[in-house]
Structure 1
Amino acid sequence: MIDEQKLLNNLEQAKKLKQLSGVKLVLALKCFSTWGVFDVMKPYLDGTTSSGPFEVRLGAEKFGGETHAYSVGYSQEDVEDVLQYCNKIIFNSISQLQAHRHLADSKASVGLRLNPGISCAGQDLADPARQFSRLGVQENLLTDELFDALDGAMFHMNCENKSADAFITLLDSISERFGRYLLKLDWVSLGGGVFFTWPDYELEKLATVLKAFAERFSIQLYLEPGEAIITQTTDLVVTVVDIVENGMKTAIVDSATEAHRLDTLIYNEPATITESSEEGSHEYVIGSCSCLAGDQFCVTSFEQPLTIGQKLHIADSAGYTMVKLNWFNGLRMPSIYCRRSNGNIEKLNEFSYDDFATSLSRSAISSVS
């Protein structure tokens, strides 16, 4: 259940940042691609940025505006495909740039991802500057001549960075170490992971430094927000189908982290249940209905005992959630709804057995030699 008014509240913060800083914002589709609410987002954002060919096309066809294409590794077929839709194409390595640069001539502005070797990320798994990172070109491989054939560059160095000061420290390092290269460029993307919609975030401070950075190097700056736009807007609504006890009570719900909220499992970050209470005396494991033994949403407490048939709201279930839904165990896929700001509830999508079956095989597929 997406709440349109909560989404609008985040978008108003995005609008304020744009007005104060001059930065452009492109939605990171790898985080959120539910195009049924793109009509709400379009007036506030400048376009989309992608991590694979299908995202590029989705952004161009369903969102419009600027369409940025990036991939860790393009095939020639991928490049030819995405150039039908994108305005900017960003390569991950010098070898990819050299192999495919000629295909982009006159079709799209060309950029290169740079790895600054520093970052603000809570977990190593999500740290783009982790040891032996494959993401972006390392500083020691750069030359002045390389930038003569580039229009722009992309840095991605944040993951849920909730501190303007921490971001400024990273930006100062980039200015010092990469400044002579940036002076040759028309645009620079500073990636995503800047949580400027977090409560009490110093948005004006962020805007001031972004504006100064852009003016210093005479470039158009971009940010690629995902979570910042859709944080706290969406609940995964589940139903308690059973309550079992083996040392402690477990409420089994009609969902699974492995199928419907994968990052809860991957990053070992317990979900938040809206109905729970820290002062509650009734403690439960909120367990999934999948066959994976350790598949659970969280351990939390309630003021009253849970009952079979009761609905629970798993909060903040938009970012890196709907884009990762899968059919593990043949579980029913959650339908997607939006509560519009006028109070009306609109169904954006629902899924059937046919969707499950055709995701695995289709009959009469021709053989490939």
Structure 2
Amino acid sequence: MRFNENQLTTPYFMVDEKKLIENLEKAKQLKKISGAKLVLALKCFSTWGTFDTIKPYLDGTTSSGPFEVQLGHETFGGETHAYSVGYSSHDINTVAPLSDKIIFNSLTQLATHFEAANPFASLGLRINPERSVAGQDLANPTRPYSRLGVKQDLLDLSIVDKVDGFMFHMNCENKDADAFIEILDYISNTFAEYLTHLKWLSLGGGIFFTAPDYPIEKLALALKAFSEKHQLQLYLEPGEAIITRTADLVVSVIDIVDNNKKTAIVDSATEAHRLDTLIYNEPASIGEASADGAFPYIIGSCSCLAGDQFCETQFDEALQIGQKLHILDSAGYTMVKLNWFNGLKMPSIYYKRVDGEIELLNSFDYQDYKDSLGKG
């Protein structure tokens, strides 16, 4: 069935394959120069209808929970990396046969599940390097009292008898190559006695190498030098870097309320459809907005939460009820966080191919809402 974008019913996500490939070509360049392998972080983006485009460029997937492990194994292939802050025995028995690598968050988890996991996968341990680049404290994995990873003072060399690799995840939207290389050098020097005994090392995600003007070659050469120095296979776990600027959340203005400021109410909500906008207090960007526009509006949601709004911005012309707006850069941490708050309609998900053809990847109705809350 052919879809005309002008006739699609809002709200919906539109993923653009052409823009996705532009990011993937940068990932290809990084891999070629550095020798590192890249695994897609499913916690950020799990829309598996796009995986046929992504698979030729990346080496597999990495997870943060058991269902992501299964999804990566079934729909992506390549290497399946399993990580979780905490596995139950049931979790390990489920994910171990599906995984190429299993990374534990603590020494206790490693000891508890070693026997069950070891026959199936190469085992790793997450390390807290106590240094990071993260703009938001909420997303800082080395914040005070962090539960994420093992600090160096709790390690001894006997650990290398149980694990083949370490994982350091200490970045969040880090666009500064020099800041990352500084931490890389710190890891190289501080953990050298361990790195000598390991086979692989994951440096996590949060490295925004697809940002405009990012010095990819500089990053790649630093990774290559590190890998050669310590004779390790390096992994990166990009999520946002792969899908940034590839998708819009398209909404419609359904009312305009004037209470000292004009609010355009749209048929969507940050709390239900773009949760990170609310959690991190990061205003969304609207495609139709104008920096010099003479018509200011709050873009408000249709949820009952008083502070639920997408942004404040301005337009060249007054908004009209029924008008569509494109909420930009809406792929990362959106579709994986959708929920049924207020019983709002869930956005459909479309995929615009390079040739202009639009595919429906998924749509949701009342029965989906009902089934999520119980079975009759």
Of 117, 121, 140, the residue aligned with 1:127 is 140
Q: Which residue of 1 aligns with 2:195?
A: 182
Of 321, 325, 332, the residue aligned with 2:338 is 325
Q: Which moved more, 1:234-243 or 1:75-84?
A: 75-84
Of 30, 35, 43, the residue aligned with 1:22 is 35
TM-score, scaled relative to structure 2: 0.96
Q: Does 1:360 align with 2:373?
A: yes
Instruction: Give the letter for the 1:162 counterpart.
Output: K
Instruction: Give the letter for the 1:198 counterpart.
Output: A
Instruction: Give the letter for the 1:11 counterpart.
Output: L
How do 1:188-207 and structure 2 match up within 5 A?
Answer: 188-207=201-220
| SS, match of residue 269 in structure 1 | coil
Q: Which residue of 2 aligns with 1:115?
A: 128
Q: Which moved more, 1:96-105 or 1:67-76?
A: 96-105
Q: Report deviation, 1:148.
A: 2.0
Q: Which has the higher contact order (CA 8 A, sep 6+)?
A: 2
Q: Does 1:83 align with 2:96?
A: yes
Of 302, 311, 315, the residue aligned with 1:289 is 302
Aligned counterparts of 1:354 and 1:184: Cα–Cα separation in 2 = 53
Instruction: Give the letter for the 1:275 counterpart.
Output: E
How do 1:230-269 and structure 2 match up within 5 A?
Answer: 230-269=243-282
Instruction: Give the letter for the 2:261 counterpart.
Output: M
Q: Which residue of 2 aligns with 1:48?
A: 61
Instruction: Give the letter for the 1:358 counterpart.
Output: D
Q: Report deviation, 1:163.
A: 1.0
Q: Report deviation, 1:35.
A: 0.1
Instruction: Give the letter for the 2:257 counterpart.
Output: V
Q: Which residue of 2 aligns with 1:307?
A: 320
Q: Which residue of 1 aligns with 2:10?
A: none
Of 355, 360, 363, the residue aligned with 1:342 is 355
Aligned counterparts of 2:222 and 2:326: Cα–Cα separation in 1 = 38
Aligned counterparts of 1:183 and 1:76: Cα–Cα separation in 2 = 31
Aligned counterparts of 1:327 and 1:84: Cα–Cα separation in 2 = 33
Instruction: Give the letter for the 1:328 counterpart.
Output: F
Of 23, 37, 45, the residue aligned with 2:50 is 37
Q: Does 1:228 align with 2:222?
A: no
Of 13, 16, 20, the residue aligned with 1:7 is 20
| SS, match of residue 83 in structure 1 | helix
Q: Report deviation, 1:84.
A: 2.1
Q: Report deviation, 1:149.
A: 1.7
TM-score, scaled relative to structure 1: 0.98
Q: Does 1:64 align with 2:77?
A: yes
1:129-162 per-residue CA deviation (whole Å, 9 max, x = no partner) reads 0000000001110101112221111000000000
- Misfit runs of 4+, over 2 Å: none
Q: Report deviation, 1:176.
A: 1.0
Count of residue pairs the alignment pairs up? 363
Q: Which residue of 2 aligns with 1:101?
A: 114
Aligned counterparts of 1:45 and 1:195: Cα–Cα separation in 2 = 16
Q: Report deviation, 1:55.
A: 0.2
Q: Which residue of 2 aligns with 1:216?
A: 229
1:165-221 per-residue CA deviation (whole Å, 9 max, x = no partner) reads 010011011011111101110000000000000000000000000000001111100
Instruction: Give the letter for the 2:99 counterpart.
Output: C
1:86-110 per-residue CA deviation (whole Å, 9 max, x = no partner) reads 1100000000000101112221000
Aligned counterparts of 1:94 and 1:34: Cα–Cα separation in 2 = 33
Aligned counterparts of 2:118 and 2:324: Cα–Cα separation in 1 = 54
1:317-348 per-residue CA deviation (whole Å, 9 max, x = no partner) reads 00011100000000000000011000111110
Aligned counterparts of 1:292 and 1:106: Cα–Cα separation in 2 = 49
Q: Which residue of 1 aligns with 2:8?
A: none
